[in-house]
Structure 1
């Protein structure tokens, strides 16, 4: 079954600040949480229709995260989905990076090819796509085996990564070249928006590309 990788940009600290904030929400955080609760209910209806049990419902998992814990180790997928809803509430509109039959395999092969051509390891994507939630979350969030998976990549590295990829794009295996060029264009677009907003919008603090791997 194919899996969809999507991405959005947000301030990582703003996302982390929601975890454990249930009793002390600002008006903006309350708006984000209300939207996340509605999205969680929609997600759960979809799971119920498919007969899928994640150990907790997505709304229950969201309540746990807001209360400052993720104590049900059997509900990793529910926690991951709930966290994605919180991220979406603080982030730009999601965009698709691509659809892949085996995304981990594909990006491992792409990393190997780019590394062979001299691209620095810190600019490669595989480990970032599957990095998990922010390490700054003050409690452990279990990692789902089957997803959805969460990843992160610093916005400040988007342009260096795109430049490094473009410099070798003509030399990568032809089976990888088309997808690589699409990734380059998307990283360049995110950099341009980040650079403009950082210069022109005084309240703008987004610093992270958040990935989700679903399906």
Structure 2
């Protein structure tokens, strides 16, 4: 059985004070609960912010590592390309020097060949001027003369190639009969063909082959 108290004028003030205290405590409890809820929300937000910060730091670190690795790889590639370029330049320079040395050698040799050939052509032309030679001797001397002249032309072409290297080569185009020109070239090798016992024929249609070309080139 619950104890009951009779409310009268003597205790109404006490009950009123007790009610006010209870209400005040209830308000404080509600305030504390509100503060706890806010603290819990703030703590949750802070924890999420911490997780996001850690994730961002990890991602930034990964990106930085990848960037550093890519930069090092690019630097290594650039260094390798630079080294290969320098090697190619060295090889190119060496090839150029070797080519120039060979051309200089051939030029010097060509100059050395021109004088003996000229000395050979002099006696040959003198012999061809005599009427005491047989037809076969004349043909052989004429062949020597033609081949010597041809060799002189080839030597001149070597020398002209040097002019080409220096940008001074000139072409001399004239209108001529291509068929007749090829027949003349054929006679240069006729004796050699006979020595080798080869069968060689030059056949062309009986039509004009007039074209413009450089006979010496």
Normalization by structure 1: what TM-score? Answer: 0.22
Structure of greater relative contact order (alpha carbons < 8 Å, 6+ residues apart): 1
Bigger radius of gyration, 1 or 2?
2
Normalization by structure 2: what TM-score? Answer: 0.22
Q: Which has the higher helix share?
A: 2
